[in-house]
Amino acid sequence: MENKKRTGIKQLLVNECQRIQQEVVDSSKAAMNEAQVALNEYGPNKDRYDSFRDQLISRRDMFAGQYQKALAECSVLIRINTTAKNDCAEFGAVVITDKSNFFIAISIGKITIDGELFYAISPNVPLYQSMKGLKKGDTFEFNKQKHRIIDIY
């Protein structure tokens, strides 16, 4: 039963991360399309050094970059096996410490599942580097605070 509950929590975490990330994808795509419409309405260059058109192009390209990054992070979430048992702090693991709960996936921030607060973090952040590869019962220090790993799944 305990294993089933853990798998359920991990699945809920993945689902919530996917929902939040899909909102990011949708909003960045909408902003990119809106910037493209503004660019199309403005028309061709008015003169050789049309800085306003350059600003519109930069704005569209910025949103296009955000859109591509958001799509890439969605594909990262798909790779998480929610039924896998993680024995150490690694990608896809839920790490419970005496101070906080972490889900190692992508950087989303705070997520509440069944009244419990989790922090979705990326394997690229310094906090993860402090706990990488550690097992249940191990301790690590981050920002001069000691954390003891109570559970990993």
- Residue 74 lies inside a defined structural domain of this protein: yes
- CA torsion angle 52 55 61 67 (round to 10): -110
Last residue in a domain, options 78, 107, 132: 78
Q: In terms of domains, do 56 and 120 share one? A: no
Structural domain including 145 reads: 94-152
Rounded Cα distance between 70 and 75, Å, is 9
pLDDT for res 51: 87
Q: In terms of domains, do 6 and 72 share one? A: yes
- Residue 84 lies inside a defined structural domain of this protein: no
pLDDT for res 1: 46
pTM here is: 0.85
98-147 pLDDT, tens digit each: 999 999 999 999 999 989 999 999 999 999 999 999 999 999 999 999 99
Q: In terms of domains, do 70 and 7 share one? A: yes
Rounded Cα distance between 22 and 34, Å, is 18
> Where do we find the tokens 């599942």?
113
Last residue in a domain, options 78, 105, 126: 78
Q: What is the number of domains present in the chain?
A: 2
Q: In terms of domains, do 68 and 17 share one? A: yes
- Residue 83 lies inside a defined structural domain of this protein: no
Rounded Cα distance between 21 and 66, Å, is 12
pLDDT for res 99: 95
What tokens appear for 54 in the block?
């350059």
In 22-41, which positions are buried (b, 16+ CB within 10 angstroms) versus exposed (e)? Answer: eebbeebbebbeebbeeeee
- pLDDT class of 91 with cuts at 50, 70, 90: very high
- Residue 88 lies inside a defined structural domain of this protein: no
**Can you name the residues that pair with 39 across neighbouring β-strands?**
none
Q: In terms of domains, do 67 and 107 share one? A: no
Distance of CA 25 to the CA centre of its chain: 12
Q: In terms of domains, do 65 and 98 share one? A: no
Last residue in a domain, options 49, 78, 107: 78
pLDDT for res 74: 94
Q: Count CA atoms within 13 Å of residue 29 on its CB side.
A: 9
- pLDDT class of 48 with cuts at 50, 70, 90: confident
